[in-house]
Structure 1
Amino acid sequence: MLVSAAWIWFSGHLLGYLVHDAHRIIVYQIIKGWVFVLGTGLLLYWMIGRTVRRLGEANQRLLDSHEQALRVLVEAMDVRHKETSDHSERVVRMALGLARRVGLEGDALRDVKFGALLHDIGKLALPDAILIKPGKLDEDETRLMRTHPRMGHDMLQRIDFLRGASTIPYSHHERWDGTGYPQGLKGGEIPLAARIFSVVDVWDALSHPRVYKPAWPEPEVLKYLRDAAGNHLDPGLVQLFLDHYAELKALALNA
């Protein structure tokens, strides 16, 4: 407003001082008006752009702080579940790598990152006797264990910026042939993010020791993935995973 008032005042007085022909004054007033409109537009564009950039930076800082807090929570979960060191970080890095190969970007890629990080968040509601049981679960324990995808989904639905990420916790135990849980989805009915994560999660579960089993040799892990394509896992994603295996493995191991 100050710039506009100064422009109107000084340009009007200067024009009146320099030009005395009425017709020419009208022409110059029109030109002056267009210069004013153009200058005001450029100034507003710069000011709004600066504000938007600052808001974007503030939003990113907020998102980063949320992510740091979630990573601390997940590290505590891994310790409680007696997962192998760096389990959650491995599956996040590998899932993002495979998702990029599929062509995901923007918010979809962010949802994969947070969904992979929080894929087992629902297990917070389960007792340790089930989570870290070294032997096979009985029927009742299995039924209770299979409630964790829905519980994880419900937890994330309460948080605005994590609603899109709830797909992976909810659906990563679905199977390509429709025999998975909790919804019994089949083939392309299973959300893409969950199908991507399932391939990565199977690789990680077999490649590293758990309380109920030792790590498998790498050739056996890859053979299992090939055999699981078309029944447990999306065959197209398994092939994409195997085609870029060296790259994805390096991401997972942070090599």
Structure 2
Amino acid sequence: MRMLRPQWRIVLLYLVAGSLWIFFSDLLVAQLVRDPVWILRVQSIKGWLFILITAALLFVLIRRDLNRMRAANQALVESYDQTIRGWVRVMDLRHKETRDHTRRVTLMTLALARRAGIDDAGQLKQIERGALLHDIGKIGIPDAILIKPGKLDAQEWQQMQQHVTIGHRLVSDIAFLRPCADIPHYHHEKWDGSGYPEGLQGEAIPLAARLFALVDVWDALSHPRVYKAAWPEPEVLSYLAEHSGRHFDPQLVKLFINHYPDLKAELATALAQQAD
């Protein structure tokens, strides 16, 4: 029976149960009821009982198969998420400096997104995946440019900017990840339109990318890189405020700064839970 497809299994069980009900109930009525009037009444009652019992049977069978399909779908989604984490680990092995950066910016972006009123689980999951994959396009950037200790020249910078296009193409080619493409593609756009790759301006930049851009710069300034030391926290927050309305969405900057202690505490808690 388990080898049958769900729809055929349900139909077969329905036919077997229905046939047995009709056969044995008719046999019982024929033996117990002789009056033609009562036979009609009993047959009517039997018909209604048949509808109720088979409806309950169908409900149980369909719910069981739906639960089985949900479990299979959840296992598939989890395998996809494991693949995403595998991609990120590949990036981490290549670029050790940003190993914890991806984890921090993902968690902090989710915390800020919730403060911004995003509470839909599906939308938050898309933001999470997009944040994890924000720099996946750097797979296509040579190490000589990616981890160069000094300032990039104009040609190197132009090549570095291609990572958003590469990342967008990688993510968009996979139907499951296509809804997560906004952050990999647009996280270097700026509120005033001076960013790349498309020079989008203001709210034309997807919200997920605007949220992430703010968190990405906050984290980059707050932690050391090969080309700079970590900035003191007051200077980081001052930089974000100064670039409000230029690089960043001014409403998000205000939200970030106003809730900064809570956001930091939420990030620390989430990092500790992941460590466990």
TM-score bracket, shorter-length normalisation: over 0.9
Please list the CA deviations of residues 5-51 of structure 1 after superposition, one character each: whole Å capped at 9, or x if unmatched. 22112222222223323233223322222221222222212211221
- Shift of the 128–166 alpha-carbon distance from structure 1 to 2, 3 Å rule, reads same
State whether residues 99 and 196 of structure 1, in contact with CA within 8 Å, keep that contact through their aligned partners in structure 2: yes
Identity %, equivalent residues: 54
Alpha carbon RMSD of aligned pairs, Å?
1.7
State whether residues 84 and 208 of structure 1, in contact with CA within 8 Å, keep that contact through their aligned partners in structure 2: no
Moved more, 5-14 or 148-157: 5-14
State whether residues 91 and 252 of structure 1, in contact with CA within 8 Å, keep that contact through their aligned partners in structure 2: no
Is residue 2:264 matched to residue 1:237? no
Q: Secondary structure of 1:86's match?
A: helix
Moved more, 161-170 or 46-55: 46-55
Please list the CA deviations of residues 142-181 of structure 1 after superposition, one character each: whole Å capped at 9, or x if unmatched. 1111111111011111111101111110001011111110
Report matched runs for 1:19-168 at 5 Å: 19-101=33-115, 102-168=117-183
Is residue 2:43 matched to residue 1:14? no
Q: Secondary structure of 1:134's match?
A: coil
Instruction: Choose which of 212, 215, 229 in structure 1 pairs with 2:227.
Output: 212
Q: Secondary structure of 2:198's match?
A: coil
Match of 2:207 in 1: 192
> What amino acid sits opposite 1:81 in the alignment?
H
State whether residues 118 and 124 of structure 2, in contact with CA within 8 Å, keep that contact through their aligned partners in structure 1: no
Q: Secondary structure of 2:181's match?
A: helix
TM-score (structure 2 length as normaliser)? 0.86
Instruction: Choose which of 188, 196, 199 in structure 2 pairs with 1:181.
Output: 196
State whether residues 176 and 187 of structure 1, in contact with CA within 8 Å, keep that contact through their aligned partners in structure 2: yes
Please list the CA deviations of residues 118-152 of structure 1 after superposition, one character each: whole Å capped at 9, or x if unmatched. 00011100001111111111111111111111110
Q: Secondary structure of 1:83's match?
A: helix
Please list the CA deviations of residues 48-85 of structure 1 after superposition, one character each: whole Å capped at 9, or x if unmatched. 12211221112222222222232132123123223244
Gaps of at least 5 residues in structure 2 are 1-14
Please list the CA deviations of residues 81-120 of structure 1 after superposition, one character each: whole Å capped at 9, or x if unmatched. 2324421111111122222232242332221111000000
> What amino acid sits opposite 2:189 in the alignment?
E
Gaps of at least 5 residues in structure 1 are none
Match of 2:4 in 1: none
Q: Secondary structure of 1:160's match?
A: coil
Give the Cα–Cα distance (whole angstroms) in 1 for the partners of residues 102 and 77 of structure 2: 19
Please list the CA deviations of residues 229-248 of structure 1 after superposition, one character each: whole Å capped at 9, or x if unmatched. 21111122222222332332
TM-score (structure 1 length as normaliser)? 0.93
State whether residues 82 and 210 of structure 1, in contact with CA within 8 Å, keep that contact through their aligned partners in structure 2: no
**Larger RCO (alpha carbons 8 Å, 6+ apart):** 1
State whether residues 199 and 238 of structure 1, in contact with CA within 8 Å, keep that contact through their aligned partners in structure 2: yes
Please list the CA deviations of residues 189-242 of structure 1 after superposition, one character each: whole Å capped at 9, or x if unmatched. 111111111121111111111111111111111112222221111122222222
